[in-house]
A and B are shown apart, each in its own frame.
Chain A
Amino acid sequence: MALGRHPRADAGSVSVKELLATMDGMGIATAVVSSLASRWHAPAAGNRELVELLAGVDRLRPCWTVLPDTCGEIGTAAEFVDQAGEAGVVAVRAFPADHRYTLDGPDLDDLHGELVRARLPLLVEASQTSWEAVEVVATRFGEHTLVVGDVGYRSLRSVAGVLSRCPNVYLDLSHLASHCGLEWLVERFGPGRFLFGTGWPLRDPAEAVTRLLWSELDDAAVRQIGSGNARDLFGPDTEEP
């Protein structure tokens, strides 16, 4: 999920209260939240603002937006990751297409290394990079955790290949839209590779909620995907929905 008004659609919310109300309506207990200001305006400032907005709200866990450290915008990679840890950040998000760098280029190597050191998962939408780049990073940094969202319904041929070769690549359910794709993927790779995620505000959270709960998966797999895997990746104090 992301906090803020979306600039290219009638979507989003600038207040924590509205975001929590949206979650309550869908039965969502806890969310990893990034800042639309970090994506669409000023990444570093948006990250700082996000921490202020989420202060004291236990149900919302901050997710910072990363950049290459080549221009000093986020300090060094090590400084960025240390600051993220101090701020309670549980994951980071990359927008390589929007922010004009490559996920698997040398400019991000230091950051990937620091994220591995701090055990901070990296979230990225499929439309922001390529499956080839995801595989390069996942292979080069074997202890890294990469979570790909916004997969759509046209990518299973690539998705299945990457998941089969890269055990450290996960998918979230935001716009994981292939008909019966979730069941097919879980049968091949197990429920441990998938995380509940909505993609709000650009995506309607009803999609992911309904997709998971009305799936043909058993209750244990639904619980694991709905919250268990996220607890393992993002921290033990993530609430049960």
Chain B
Amino acid sequence: MSLASDLESAVFDRVPQRATPIIDAHAHVGPYSEFFIPSCEPADLVRVMDRVGVDKTVLSSHLGIQLDARRGNEATAEAVAAHPDRLAGYLVVNPWQHPVDELARWADDPRFVGIKLHPDLHMYPLTGPHYTPVWEFAERTGCPVLTHTWTGSEYDDLAHIGVVADRHPGVTLLAGHAGASYAGFDTAIEVAAAHPRVLLEICGSHNSGATIARMVRALGPSQVVFGSDFPFIDLRCSLGRMVFAELDDADRAAVLGGTAQRLFGWRSPPATDRTDKE
């Protein structure tokens, strides 16, 4: 049996997959003002992870990315503390809300394994000087930085990713949504190909298994990372693309978890021992 057939069988049999460790590298927690989310509390997220067989999710709170980074990071820390084997946190840095203080506050807290930036929501360009403390911290520690990207944005287009990667070649940078549009995926691949520490994170409304496979063919699995964006986009919609994508077993396993495992290992590896939950 191949990994692909094991995963497909789990879907068709309606049982959680047990074939490979899965780390979801892009998720959130809590309510969001713009639209109703039926199920968004930490326990709700873990319940759906159990339903499908996702081992670990790395998330930031909606409170942090929308309104208040300080209180939002506290909410993330609480969520991780409640489910330490299943959740890990991104520290949200809002460029308008004391980046230096927020980094210092949580720098040594193992609940946070990465930094989350959302230039579009915060209406501040990824290349702006308010983010300098983030790049300095990330280069010094190896902490990966997940940033929202959106093709054509004046704040976080793929061109901004390229500029930051040129300025800070030691920073590991996850391009969240990989540009998010059909036309932008090619540019995302080009930027990642030119910058070995830029990784494409694949959640979003317009990605597909075919495009993910194209990313992996162009970049290799060490620069492509599974993320779902739940509880915005349903975890199963995003994961289904990976289940049925035309990838070989090694590449599929790497994108689903292996690459993320290494990525977050600067702090301490997220638990992916399958015996933990069986």
**Cβ of A180 and Cβ of B34 under 8 Å apart?**
no
Given contacts A8-B182, A204-B241, contact A184 B39 (CB under 8 A): yes
B121 beta carbon closer than 8 Å to chain A: no
Segment of A34-42, A214-222, A228-236 engaged in the interface with chain B: A214-222
Q: What interface size band does chain B fall in?
A: 35 or more
Segment of A108-116, A133-141, A148-156 engaged in the interface with chain B: A148-156
A57 beta carbon closer than 8 Å to chain B: no
**Cβ of B244 and Cβ of A175 under 8 Å apart?**
no
Identify which of residues 179-234 in chain A touch chain B, using a CB-to-CB cut-off of 8 Å: 179-184, 203-211, 213-216, 219, 222
Interface flags for A40-81 (1: CB within 8 Å of B; 0: not) read: 000000000000000000000000000000000000000000
**Cβ of A214 and Cβ of B182 under 8 Å apart?**
no
**Cβ of B240 and Cβ of A219 under 8 Å apart?**
no
Count of chain A to chain B residue pairs whose CB atoms are closer than 8 Å in the complex: 113
Point out the residues of chain B lying under 8 angstroms from A204, CB to CB: 207-210, 240-241, 244
Segment of B64-72, B101-109, B188-196, B228-236 engaged in the interface with chain A: B228-236
**Cβ of B205 and Cβ of A179 under 8 Å apart?**
no
Given contacts A180-B231, A206-B243, A216-B51, contact A211 B39 (CB under 8 A): no
- A156 to B244: give the CA distance in the assembly, Å: 28
Q: Return the chain B residue nearest A215 by Cβ.
A: B236
Point out the residues of chain A lying under 8 angstroms from B11, CB to CB: 209-210, 213-214
B91 beta carbon closer than 8 Å to chain A: no
Point out the residues of chain A lying under 8 angstroms from B239, CB to CB: 210, 214
Point out the residues of chain A lying under 8 angstroms from B38, CB to CB: 156, 178-181, 183-184
Residue in B14, B182, B211, B233 whose CB lies within 8 Å of A177: B233
Point out the residues of chain B lying under 8 angstroms from A184, CB to CB: 38-39
Point out the residues of chain A lying under 8 angstroms from B245, CB to CB: 206
Residue in A206, A214, A215 whose CB lies within 8 Å of B241: A206
Given contacts A180-B44, A206-B243, contact A9 B182 (CB under 8 A): yes
Interface flags for B176-197 (1: CB within 8 Å of A; 0: not) read: 0000001000000000000000
**Cβ of B240 and Cβ of A210 under 8 Å apart?**
yes
Point out the residues of chain B lying under 8 angstroms from A155, CB to CB: 35
**Cβ of B35 and Cβ of A10 under 8 Å apart?**
no
Q: Return the chain B residue nearest A152 by Cβ.
A: B205
Q: Return the chain A residue nearest B39 by Cβ.
A: A180
Chain B proximity of A99: nearest CB distance (Å): 22
Point out the residues of chain A lying under 8 angstroms from B36, CB to CB: 156-157, 160, 178
B52 beta carbon closer than 8 Å to chain A: yes
- A11 to B210: give the CA distance in the assembly, Å: 9
Point out the residues of chain A lying under 8 angstroms from B230, CB to CB: 179
Point out the residues of chain B lying under 8 angstroms from A142, CB to CB: none
Interface flags for B41-81 (1: CB within 8 Å of A; 0: not) read: 00010001001100000000000000000000000000000
Point out the residues of chain B lying under 8 angstroms from A9, CB to CB: 182
Q: Return the chain B residue nearest A187 by Cβ.
A: B38
Q: Return the chain B residue nearest A179 by Cβ.
A: B231
- A152 to B207: give the CA distance in the assembly, Å: 13
**Cβ of A222 and Cβ of B14 under 8 Å apart?**
yes
Point out the residues of chain B lying under 8 angstroms from A27, CB to CB: 12
Q: Return the chain A residue nearest B52 by Cβ.
A: A214
**Cβ of B234 and Cβ of A206 under 8 Å apart?**
no
B163 beta carbon closer than 8 Å to chain A: no
Interface flags for A1-42 (1: CB within 8 Å of B; 0: not) read: 000000011110000000000000111000000000000000
5 residue pairs, one from A and one from B, having the closest CB atoms: A210-B240, A184-B38, A179-B231, A180-B39, A204-B208
Q: A26-B244, A214-B11 are in contact. List 20 more A-B contacts (CB 8 A).
A: A8-B182, A156-B36, A160-B36, A178-B36, A179-B37, A179-B40, A179-B48, A179-B230, A179-B231, A179-B232, A180-B38, A180-B231, A184-B38, A204-B209, A206-B243, A209-B11, A209-B240, A214-B14, A216-B51, A219-B14
Please report B residues at the A interface, Cβ cutoff 8 Å. 11-12, 14, 34-40, 44, 48, 51-52, 182, 205, 207-211, 230-241, 243-245
What are 27 A-B residue pairs whose CB atoms fall within 8 Å in the complex? A8-B182, A9-B182, A153-B35, A153-B232, A156-B36, A157-B36, A160-B36, A175-B237, A177-B233, A178-B38, A179-B39, A180-B38, A180-B234, A181-B38, A203-B208, A204-B207, A206-B244, A207-B236, A209-B11, A210-B11, A210-B237, A211-B236, A211-B240, A214-B51, A216-B48, A216-B51, A219-B14
Please report A residues at the B interface, Cβ cutoff 8 Å. 8-11, 25-27, 152-157, 160, 175, 177-184, 203-211, 213-216, 219, 222
